[in-house]
Structure 1
Amino acid sequence: MIDRRTALAGMAALFGAPLFAPIARAAGLVGKDSRPVISDGPPSVQVFSPVQRALMTQLSERVVPTTDTPGAIKAGVPDYIEKLLADWALPQERIPILAGLDAIEAKCVQDYKVPTAQATPEQLDALLTAAMNAQFADGASFFWAFRQLVITGYYTSEIGMTQEQEYLPVPGEYHGDYLYSNVNKVYSA
């Protein structure tokens, strides 16, 4: 089966924009310096405060929600993001994510008079849209990096590769008369 690093390298072409540096570094596309091999264990440093971690978890599920397939939380995206930022990001590369989470928390209290932990899914969607449209300081840089983290975390997870997509390690035989209406998933190999 494909490993996460190979999947990360394959995801690079999907964004059509420069990759967030920690993702590119983890995929082995840049910075082939003397950084140590990262263990499968917990993150080497604590990146998020409890409030930031809870918000990051909520927002990741808003980017890739649970539908007929599991969403970002079930796929382990929050743990992936924390591990990637702890072990592959330089301290200054964490700033857009941390500052963006703090700005979203402040905007939620300002606009809705509740902390993000009590915000509705619609309010969280509105906050993400405000970030995407740069309606607050550093919102666009947060959204750009955060969306990449969530998407790569999801589509390089086992759930993303095997439940959202159909994994075929060796593509099947050719059927020239296969009806398009029978296609229900995108295949990855």
Structure 2
Amino acid sequence: MGTDPVLNAEKCAIFIPTRGKKYTAQKFFKVTFTYNISTTKFIHRVIHMKRRQAIGSIAVTGLAGLGLFGGIEWHAWHKTPDFQFLETHQKTLLALAEIIIPTGDTPGAKNCGVDKFIIGMIRDCTDTRDANTFIDGLKNCVQYSYDTFGKNYEDCTTPQQVDILHRFERQGRVGTGLWGKVKNRYWGKSFFTTLKELTVVGYCTSEAGASQGLSYVAIPTAYHGCVAMAPGQRSWATR
């Protein structure tokens, strides 16, 4: 037996088989209308309650997620830096630095011992948070190289190395304005930013970089406040 009301034309009455009751057409519509209104109110109340519960659940979940994220970040920043990983991947650092300052008609980062300079600066002159950020970034670089090309970074071809470095360069960009300042202040510099800065400083302060990659005068005879640079001249090593 179906559940839909059945209209009896002879008696002009409506039968509701599931309830076993008989209503006239006028009474049926009145009952149906009242039932529909009550059902609508009930459904609205249930939806309203579920909406409040859902909003509450989202708020609680969001706060818990922020707390968990903050705890993970705090641990990542303040754990003991893995300097052993840094030292065992000296060849990777050397290959990264060489992509930033390659060897050409002047010495590159590889000829200036920049890898040793970077390790020394991270180990001895960098706080715990920034050291962990750099080492974790190096770990991500090593893993990404292996996952993408199936080999270590230093064993990749030059185009592959450039592609990997570009990825971490894009990943390490910060926004301009207030947000960029806040991110640098509280999250510190990215792996790529630190790598690039230490590579340039290590190169320019090395003997080969300063004397061959830059213009260098060991003993200037006099001070000249403004000196015109010749066409194609390299930047001065001293300021």
TM-score (norm 1): 0.63
Q: Relative to 1, partners in 2 of residues 1:180 and 1:46: Cα closer, same or farther, differing over 3 Å?
A: same
Q: Relative to 1, partners in 2 of residues 1:173 and 1:159: Cα closer, same or farther, differing over 3 Å?
A: same
Distance (whole Å) between structure 1 residues aligned to residue 152 and residue 229 of structure 2: 50
Q: Runs in 1 of length 4+ with deviation above 3 angstroms?
A: 171-174, 178-181
Structure 2 unaligned spans of 5+: 1-82, 173-186
Report the alpha carbon displacement of residue 149 of structure 1 after superposing the two structures with TM. 0.7
Aligned twin of 1:170 = 220
Correspondence 1:106 to 2:156: no
Report the alpha carbon displacement of residue 151 of structure 1 after superposing the two structures with TM. 0.6
Correspondence 1:121 to 2:168: no
Equivalent pairs: percent with the same residue?
23
Q: Relative to 1, partners in 2 of residues 1:109 and 1:159: Cα closer, same or farther, differing over 3 Å?
A: same
* Count of paired positions: 137
Whichever structure has more helix as a proportion of its residues is: 2
- Aligned with 1:166: secondary structure? coil
Aligned twin of 1:74 = 111
Report the alpha carbon displacement of residue 118 of structure 1 after superposing the two structures with TM. 2.1
Report the alpha carbon displacement of residue 114 of structure 1 after superposing the two structures with TM. 2.0
Answer whether contact 1:47 1:85 (CA < 8 A) is retained: no
Answer whether contact 1:63 1:150 (CA < 8 A) is retained: yes
Q: Relative to 1, partners in 2 of residues 1:153 and 1:188: Cα closer, same or farther, differing over 3 Å?
A: closer
User: C-alpha deviations, 1:113-151, integer Å up to 9, x for none?
Assistant: 22224211111111110000118xx9x811111100101
Q: Relative to 1, partners in 2 of residues 1:184 and 1:49: Cα closer, same or farther, differing over 3 Å?
A: closer
- Aligned with 2:190: secondary structure? helix
- Aligned with 1:187: secondary structure? coil
Correspondence 1:148 to 2:186: no
Report the alpha carbon displacement of residue 78 of structure 1 after superposing the two structures with TM. 0.7
Report the alpha carbon displacement of residue 91 of structure 1 after superposing the two structures with TM. 2.6
Aligned twin of 1:58 = 95
Answer whether contact 1:66 1:72 (CA < 8 A) is retained: yes
Distance (whole Å) between structure 1 residues aligned to residue 153 and residue 94 of structure 2: 11
Aligned twin of 1:95 = 132
Aligned twin of 2:86 = 48
Q: Give the greater-gyration-radius structure (CA).
A: 2
TM-score (norm 2): 0.51
Q: Output the aligned Cα RMSD.
A: 2.6
Report the alpha carbon displacement of residue 46 of structure 1 after superposing the two structures with TM. 4.7
Letter in 1 for 2:215: E
Distance (whole Å) between structure 1 residues aligned to residue 166 and residue 221 of structure 2: 39
User: C-alpha deviations, 1:58-104, integer Å up to 9, x for none?
Assistant: 10111111010111121111111111112111232211221111111
Letter in 1 for 2:201: T
Q: Relative to 1, partners in 2 of residues 1:171 and 1:111: Cα closer, same or farther, differing over 3 Å?
A: farther
- Aligned with 1:61: secondary structure? helix
